[in-house]
Amino acid sequence: MKSKLRDSDLSKLVTEQQNPRTLHLDEMTALEIAEVINREDRKVADCVTQALPEIAKTIDLVAGVLANAGRLIYVGAGTSGRLGALDAAEIPPTFDISAKQVLHLIAGGKKALYSAVEDEEDSLHLGQKDIARQKPSKKDVVIGIAASGRTPYTLAALAYAKKKGARTVAVVCNAKSPLEEVADLAIVVDVGAEVLSGSTRMKAGTAQKMVLNMISTGAMVRLGYVYDNLMVNVLPRNKKLRERGITIVEKVTGVNHEKAAHALKTASGRIPVALVMLKTSASKAEAERALNASGGQVRKAIEIIRNASGLKGAQL
């Protein structure tokens, strides 16, 4: 694709405007600076509220894709790319899904995660090249993240993915952007001018973080990887997480700490297996079979065993 973007377009973006509420920032005290940033930050959640219908559609889209062995691929540059990388890194261990199902692409590659590589975000070629390596298909959903909505790298990646049949979503902070036009679905969060003009790592970045959290967490809930509001699929790989796992088992089943720890040990550290065992008095093998049959959903696995045992009316 050819770039139709002009440098002069940048000054017209809402996120590049000078904020009249933060004029004379350089003359403020430290407390005044903190107060004005805090006042602006409080507006972000209200801006995200306006995009909830599109966020909800994306949650269901991502859940459907992952349920059918597809992939969620985040694409972005700079702050946007790092936020996508952060969410992609945290989803697999939190919900015990394969890291191969949640990926991220950032302009400049891994080095861009900890240092600035601004020039590479201007490359349409690199955006297309990086997404092409992932071989996107109709099984996948690709989410392009860009505060401006016009980052060439992200725009090219999203356009290529769409051409290959992938569903595409744009997360932007400027309305009627090129990225919004390319995507199947657009989440537009108009946070307005930044405290520091053009510094989209601030309100825009906060808005993007909130949106990505909603999408990934919401999709995992829809997939059944959460019981009530507990992260029952978390992998207890360290001391903190092992203790969290025991606490989750205690809360769901009502057993004491010792019994919860023993159940987790019997379940080879897998919280869902321990929960199904304790809630139904099933063996480890029975609990594992029920979880496999339910697609890993604890509540459905419990229901499967109870129905088979004639305990359909029992509380889950």
Is residue 252 within 8 A of residue 275, CB to CB? The reply is yes
121 is catalytic: yes
Q: What is the pLDDT of residues 231-286, one digit of tens each?
A: 999 888 888 989 999 999 999 999 999 999 999 999 999 999 999 999 999 999 99
Q: What is the pLDDT of residues 67-77, one digit of tens each?
A: 999 999 999 99
- In this model, does residue 15 exceed pLDDT 90? no
Edge-to-edge order in the sheet of strand 185-188:
102-106, 72-76, 141-146, 167-172, 185-188
Q: What is the pLDDT of residues 84-107, one digit of tens each?
A: 999 999 999 999 899 999 999 999
Q: Where are the beta strands (DSSP E) in the chain?
A: 72-76, 102-106, 141-146, 167-172, 185-188
Task: Phi first, then psi: give them for residue 170, nearest 5 degrees.
Answer: -110, 135
CA 306 to chain CA centroid, nearest Å: 34
Share of the chain above pLDDT 90, in %: 79
- Confidence (pLDDT) at 8: 45
Token pair in block for residue 132: 């092409």
Q: What is the pLDDT of residues 21-34, one digit of tens each?
A: 999 999 999 999 99
The single residue listed with the structure tokens 């975000």 is 121
CATH of domain 239-308: 1.10.8.1080
- Diameter of the chain measured on Cα atoms: 73
Q: Report the chain's terminal Cα–Cα distance, integer Å.
A: 53
CA 208 to chain CA centroid, nearest Å: 10
90 is catalytic: yes
The catalytic residue among 40, 120, 121, 303 is 121
Kindly state the helix (H) or strand (E) to which residue 136 belongs, with its residue range.
none
- Fold classification of 7-222 is Rossmann fold (3.40.50)
Give pTM, 2 decimals: 0.89
- In this model, does residue 2 exceed pLDDT 50? no
Of the candidates 114, 300, 128, 102, the residue with the CA atom closest to the CA atom of residue 217: 102
Q: What is the pLDDT of residues 211-226, one digit of tens each?
A: 999 999 999 999 999 9
Crossing angle (nearest 10°) for helices 298-308 and 271-280: 30
- Confidence (pLDDT) at 117: 74
Residues of the chain with CATH 1.10.8.1080: 239-308
- CA gap 103, 87 in Å, rounded: 9
The dihedral through the CA atoms of 191, 194, 198, 204 has a sign that is: negative
Phi-psi region of 104 (alpha: psi -120 to 50; beta: other; left: phi over 0): beta
Residues of the chain with CATH 3.40.50.10490: 7-222
Task: Write down the mean pLDDT value for the chain.
Answer: 92
- CA gap 269, 85 in Å, rounded: 27
